[in-house]
Chains A and B, each alone.
Chain A
Amino acid sequence: MNCKDFQEVLNDFIDGLLSPEEKQKVETHLEACPVCREELERFRSLIAEARALPKSVSPARDLWPDILDRLEGGEEEISAEEKADSRAWWSRYGFLAAAAVLIAIITVFLATSFFMEREDPSLQFAEDGSIQVLPAATAPEDIVLAEAEYLTASEKLLQVLNERGDSLSPKTLAVVRQNIGLIDSAIGEIKGALEKDPANPQLNQLLLATYQRQLKLLKRATALPPRKPGRGTGFILRDSSNRL
């Protein structure tokens, strides 16, 4: 080993990352080279000084008042008491609620998947099988707006669906109504969990994603072509070219 080789392995030598053979070569070189010994000591001194720096440094001003302002500002809607109750409830029953919501969502996702495009832009299965809700706006005002939009749109679409009920096959209509019921049930589960934990971002995102799914289902159902004369069953289940 020469001085250039030593420079290349200096840091690994200091950090103990060399193999025994490499370490031996470095030590042999150091015995014969005072320049590299001095270089090694300079680096060790730098690292020792870094490790000895104080682990605690007081800020020049008290930051607590600003932090307190932010805590109070962020909790206008949920009082500390409600938050404590929510946490206590969530720690006691949260896993049950989460399981119920998850089962409801999976049921909806699987049961309605044939009605949908292959990929839902807001809700996807991850490789490990868990449901991934993609980032969406979940500020309280967004939730309120989304809910209002959902209620208005779903009412109109249900009306359209009822008006043209006779033009769809009974089987198709039954499948549509069953899926609407499943999604309504999931929305109820999520809203029940949200009452106990209103600020939970995952639940809020799930609610938005489920609203979107319900609307998409209704839009597609109202856009279904009328059944062909003489055919009594739902062609959408058999005719892949018309599959939604």
Chain B
Amino acid sequence: MDRRGGFHEGEEAALVDRAAAGDRAAFERLYRRHVGRVYALCLRMSGKKDMAEELTQEVFVKTWEKLHSFRGESAFSSWLHRLTVNVVLGEWRTRYRHQAAVAAMDDASLFAKEASKNAAGVEMDLERAVATLPLGARTVFVLHDIEGYGHEEIGSLSGIAPGTSKAQLHSARKKLREMLKK
């Protein structure tokens, strides 16, 4: 029997069909099933709880609106994951539209501030260290090292060159190493 997180695959497909037809109870079950995964991604990409909550809500509203376009060619969880990444990156583009791309979104002063806290003896775990990375480095680190995306895919999602994605990843790892003193 193929079960994932308490759902038969067939059961999930039926819920998706029902939700796409306007059944909110079915959609709520999908929400309960997937909210942890969506929230974790939003939290790590944004680095802030309140923003992660807003983004998670936005993801599920978009999911409701776009469910009819889900063709079932991939697993619903994969489709939702990609939608989440798109919603978060779309939010960055809106918030930082005066900057060209994720590559340009660095807040060096924030990083320096957090790094100095660490130097002063504040213990930092990996989650907290990731949250203090500059936006571009954090985005690429979360997508590549935590979520397993390749540089080509990150490039196509975020609009940066694969080479830029690699450079951001290297920068992120180096900064994390410094912060964590591993």
Contact = CB atoms under 8 A, between A and B. Distances in A.
Nearest to A58: B36
Nearest to B142: A50
Nearest to B59: A67
A68 B28 CA distance: 9
A50 B24 contact: no
Interface string B114-141: 0000000000001100100000000001
A74 B135 CA distance: 31
A41 B23 CA distance: 51
B93 interface: no
Chain A binding surface SS class? helix
B28 A64 contact: yes
B23 to A, nearest CB: 8
Chain B binding surface SS class? helix
A166 B130 CA distance: 76
Nearest to B5: A56
B21 interface: yes
Interface stretch (A81-89, A115-123, A211-219, A222-230): A81-89
Contacts of B166: 11-12
Contacts of A53: 44, 126-127, 146
A54 interface: yes
A141 interface: no
A37 interface: no
A83 B22 contact: yes
Contacts of A49: 126
B154 to A, nearest CB: 13
B176 A46 contact: yes
A98 to B, nearest CB: 13
Interface string B40-52: 1001100001001
A215 B44 CA distance: 50
A145 interface: no
A61 interface: yes
Interface stretch (B7-15, B60-68, B84-92): B60-68
A43 B53 contact: no
Contacts of A4: none
Contacts of A90: 68
Contacts of A70: 57, 61
A171 interface: no
A54 B44 CA distance: 11
Nearest to B18: A84
Contacts of B182: 42, 45-46
Nearest to B49: A60
Contacts of B44: 53
A55 B37 contact: yes
Given A57-B39, A74-B65, 4 more contacts: A63-B57, A68-B28, A74-B61, A83-B22
13 contacts: A42-B177, A46-B173, A46-B180, A46-B182, A50-B141, A51-B148, A59-B52, A63-B35, A64-B32, A70-B61, A84-B22, A87-B21, A87-B22
